[in-house]
Amino acid sequence: MNETDLEAHLISIYRHLHQYPELSKQEFETTRFIEKWMRELDIPIRKTKLKTGVFADIKGGNPGPIVAVRADIDALPIEEKTGLPYASKIKGVMHACGHDFHTAALIGAACHLKRNQSQLNGTVRLLFQPAEELGGGAKQVIADGQLEGVEAIIGLHNKPELPVGTIGLKEGPLMAAVDRFHIVLQGKGSHAAIPQNGKDPIVTAGHLITALQTIVSRNVSPLQSAVVSVTKIIGGSTWNVIPGDVTLEGTIRSFDPAIREEVKTKLYTIVEAIATAFSQKVEIGWFPGPPPLVNHKAVTEIVRKAATQEVLDVIDPELSMAGEDFSYYLYNVPGTFAFFGTNGKEEWHHPEFTLDESALIQAANFLYKSSRALLN
């Protein structure tokens, strides 16, 4: 297959995946589709206990280390509004984060690797990872033993605001830690006209939301960064009744483990103190997500050289407050995660999210070249 044929193939693979998106942990057809491609390319699939996801080894002709390349494969519960001829055929589900692009790019890299198998100095392990959007897929892949023997790992995410031909590479932190909180204020309901008989959790929630804004503005150093967002409030049923309880949900984002801990402590202090001040009970649920994504220096250096040889314009990317469960891999083996320019008009998770397909062959070539560079 020459480069033009491969590009046409990858675009058709990408469009197929885009039309049939599947939610996290339900990527059954996607898994079958990737398995079919592995068989087509004569790449042996590794055993797994996971119900979705595909893991495969391309063992080179020469001895050497194992390098892993990861692509995530899941989609989101979003109704697509792009109007593309190959838009999602699954109602309410969309590849709005471009994981279809990542999957197609890794299949492309696999084509190159397979063609050059006899010259590879070691093994490249392909990780088609499920359930990234839930933040737990990578952990399951690690628990499944797919990282065993791996000495370095790489992965990429499409980046709508970067032009095609540009790649963002950075050692150190790149993406944020993701924590979620769930607060239930337990007051006492009453007639809206007789508030003295109740304990109004709506007023308490108002104070709480305002006070939580001070964590970032008054506790975190202006030279550091964090986000505290209250994103969901449930309370009340009608206009003339004070409800008995209010539920709030939200997320915390941070890069530094010490800040991550400080914000959590402060949130507990504020929530508990305000609830007490308003004579209400409170329950706080805390759900830690992926840690910050921190790229390793040596691997990033090698990948940067490979990207430059691939005639990509390497830039220093802006940090992203979004989370990415690739960070779990980086806590186990050295590696790097790149932002790949796709010139989209909308951000990740938007119903009109699109990307430029001409970046696909570049991403496949980049994954191929950088995995080979790491083997060497």
**Residues of this chain that bind Ni ion (CB under 5 A):** 97
> What's the closest the beta carbon of residue 98 comes to Ni ion, in angstroms?
7
Q: CA-CA distance, 105 to 108, in Å (whole number)? A: 5
Residue 191 vs 349, nearer CB to Ni ion: 349
Strands (E), 290-334: 293-295, 313-315
DSSP 251: E
> What's the closest the beta carbon of residue 347 comes to Ni ion, in angstroms?
11
What's the token pair of residue 166?
């540009």
Residue 58 vs 97, nearer CB to Ni ion: 97
Beta bridge partners of 129: 72
Residue 262 vs 325, nearer CB to Ni ion: 325
Q: CA-CA distance, 152 to 121, in Å (whole number)? A: 14
> What's the closest the beta carbon of residue 285 comes to Ni ion, in angstroms?
25
Helix/strand/coil for 239? coil
> What's the closest the beta carbon of residue 333 comes to Ni ion, in angstroms?
21
Q: CA-CA distance, 307 to 305, in Å (whole number)? A: 5
Q: Which residue is nearest to Ni ion (CB)?
A: 97
Give the residue from 125, 132, 130 showing the smallest Cα distance to 110.
125
Residue 113 vs 131, nearer CB to Ni ion: 131
DSSP 320: B
> What's the closest the beta carbon of residue 326 comes to Ni ion, in angstroms?
10
> What's the closest the beta carbon of residue 132 comes to Ni ion, in angstroms?
6
- Buried b / exposed e over 299-330, threshold 16 CB at 10 Å, is bbebbbebbeebebebeebeebbebbbbbbbb
Residue 112 vs 159, nearer CB to Ni ion: 159
Residue 34 vs 66, nearer CB to Ni ion: 34
Q: CA-CA distance, 167 to 161, in Å (whole number)? A: 11
Rounded to a whole number of angstroms, the CA Rg of the chain reads 23
What's the token pair of residue 151?
């000495």
Residue 97 vs 259, nearer CB to Ni ion: 97
Q: CA-CA distance, 294 to 332, in Å (whole number)? A: 11
> What's the closest the beta carbon of residue 97 comes to Ni ion, in angstroms?
3
Q: To the nearest 10°, the Cα dihedral for 319, 325, 329, 332?
A: 90
170 to each of 34, 166, 182, 335, 358, how far by Cα in Å?
Answer: 30, 13, 33, 11, 24
Residue 100 vs 179, nearer CB to Ni ion: 100
> What's the closest the beta carbon of residue 370 comes to Ni ion, in angstroms?
19
Residue 24 vs 254, nearer CB to Ni ion: 24
> What's the closest the beta carbon of residue 332 comes to Ni ion, in angstroms?
20
Q: CA-CA distance, 255 to 253, in Å (whole number)? A: 7
